[in-house]
Amino acid sequence: MSLNRRTFLQHTLKTTAFAGLGAAYPLSSLAQNNGVRPAPMMPDPSFVETNGISMAVYEKGSGPAVVFCHGFPELAFSWRGQLDAVAAAGYHAIAPDQRGYGLTGGPEDPMQYDMGIFCDDLIGMLDAKGIDKAVFVGHDWGGALVWAMPRLHPDRCLGIIGLNTTAGRPADLPPVTGSEPSLIVMTPDYYFAKFIPTGQAEPILEADVRKTFDFFLSRGGIWDREAFARLPEDSAERKMDLLTMLQRENPPGEPFMSEEVMSYFTDTFEATGFTGGLNWYRGSARMGAILADTPTRIEVPSLYIGAENDVILPPSSADGMEDFISDLEKHTVMDSGHWTQQEKPEEVNRVIVDWLNRKIG
């Protein structure tokens, strides 16, 4: 049997070799999560029991709560550039490793992953910390989660900030007209579709985890809108076939984060694998039914922050959100791809804090 790092950690944690770590890290959490270490550049995490999982939570500051929800393939660590700034501005900044990720981990059963469950995870976390209401900030899948919160739990929301991700347009509204068409050529090779079958994406993503993160967390390549538009329509790029691009010897894009950052993402996903995160895609088909009988209008103050070069979630995807959100502001971060809060942290922080101070503080 090939003994990779993930297999080694799973085996080692069954022995007593890690027993001495119990005082620093709850042994149950360490064992559950295959030896994932707490994130650098972040406060020490705490663990709260919520909705059947032990959720790792990084937090700093006091004041109105601001909960940061990460996307795929990310971690609470993705918000390392925001916690200090938001806490310094007078808020209680909170970033959990979400279900299926990092120190939180989660079941492998994809039926334990859907939008109702994710929202309940956050509600349980607030309850455990004695927090009545919060501003929810989400990026990528975390954005989809936070836009669902005011529909499923409006009484727990002070406000919503969607980073890159827009709120889904209610089915009872007519389609938006005149919006800029997507540059992506939709085919069965689209990454979202290829992530759904169990066991299809894992071998490719886990074959070389550092290569996966060098490709995903990058600038340029597929995150250069003008260059992307010039590519042939039958290319893997234009079809956003991420798994095919990743299997090239030199996938497109240039990493822009520090070695310490890239090593932590790599080490964590080498230990946990990608199944937990991929299960968010596998539960997506149930989202419509979960939200079917909820209010379609969002009444809490809301902010959308888009990124110029995000071709999957372009700023134009926010067109028409004013039709069903009573108090909405928009901002576009120029010269940024999909990983906006990590690529342009100072601008993202400035926009978030300014909005918080005007709408919440």
Residue keyed to tokens 């085919």: 187
Higher pLDDT among residues 187 and 27, named by residue? 187
| Amino acid 239: pLDDT | 98
Give, in words, the CATH class of 36-359.
alpha beta
Of 97, 140, 241, 310, which one is the catalytic site residue? 140
Q: Phi then psi for 18, rounded to 5 degrees?
A: -95, 5
Instruction: List, for residues 312-353, the tens digit of each pLDDT value.
Output: 999 999 999 999 999 999 999 999 999 999 999 999 999 999
Concerning whether 11 is annotated as a catalytic residue, the answer is no
Q: Is 140 a catalytic residue?
A: yes
Report percent pLDDT > 90 for the chain.
90
Express each pLDDT in 282-299 by its tens digit.
999 999 999 999 999 999
Q: Residue 33: its pLDDT value, please?
A: 52
Q: Is the dihedral of CA 41, 44, 47, 50 positive or negative?
A: negative
Phi-psi region of 54 (alpha: psi -120 to 50; beta: other; left: phi over 0): beta
Mean pLDDT value across residues 194-219:
98
User: Across residues 105-110, what is the average pLDDT?
Assistant: 95
Domain positions in the chain are: 36-359
